[in-house]
Structure 1
Amino acid sequence: MNARSERPTDTEPLVLDGDLTIYTVAETATRLRPYLAERRLYLDLSAVSELDGAGLQLLLWLRETLHARGGALRLVAHSPVVAEVLGLLQLSGRFDLDSAGPAAGEAA
């Protein structure tokens, strides 16, 4: 899992790509920790190719931690894999997935 933006902004979100799984979640969590101080964190998950329970737990932890600190997590784009997992577990609303766009060229 790679984070492609050093400092995300409203116009340039933090892009996560590759797998977000049990094998990558510890490294990804370490990379995301500095962003917990942000008021709003915008994530682009359009390049996430695999999402398992550990990856989902990381996203939920990130969302809840930011919320507890008065911040917010916003998904600005998602891959079909992310949409499928969140949809199957009925978590699309929790991540406001309906307002997040799919990856470029992908159907919602």
Structure 2
Amino acid sequence: MSLRIRMEEGRCIASIEGELSIYTAYDLKRELLALLDRHQHLELDLSAVGELDTAGCQILVLLRREAGKQSKELTFSGRSDPTVALIELLGLVGYFSDDTAPRVVPGAELARAQA
């Protein structure tokens, strides 16, 4: 797992690459919470996440909660297939929806749209 950081138009963009799992969650949690503390707007780019498990998802939920407590803006962009699959499986589609990212379409809604 690696984390690439860049600034763009007043927001900090953190691109997570590799696995976001129980094996990387502890270190990533510390790094992402520190970024949230330092920036008013943090965008997480999940396009290069190759594996996401529930420990990784807990980190994303924690960040969303902490951003709300601190009145900061946290957005998600570029969701990878593993990210979309777990978010849908856990029923967290609405929790991770925002204007900066492609909409995650629940399976039942997708089936209706394709029919």
Q: With structure 2 as the length reference, what TM-score do the two structures score? A: 0.78
The structure with the greater share of residues assigned to helix is 2
- Please name the residue that 2:61 is paired with: 60
- Structure 1: stretches of 5+ with no match in the other structure: 103-108
The structure number with the bigger radius of gyration is: 2
Change (3 A) 1:39 1:98: closer
> What does residue range 22-101 of structure 1 map to in structure 2 within 5 Å?
22-37=22-37, 38-96=39-97, 100-101=101-102
CA shift, 1:88, in A, is: 1.1
Across the aligned residues of Structure 1 and Structure 2, the Cα RMSD in angstroms comes to 2.1
CA shift, 1:77, in A, is: 1.1
CA shift, 1:8, in A, is: 3.8
Aligned length: 101
CA shift, 1:97, in A, is: 5.9
Give CA deviations for 1:51-78 in whole Å, capped at 9, x if unaligned: 1111010000011001110012101211
> What does residue range 5-16 of structure 1 map to in structure 2 within 5 Å?
5=5, 7-10=6-9, 13-16=13-16
Instruction: Report sequence identity in percent.
Output: 35
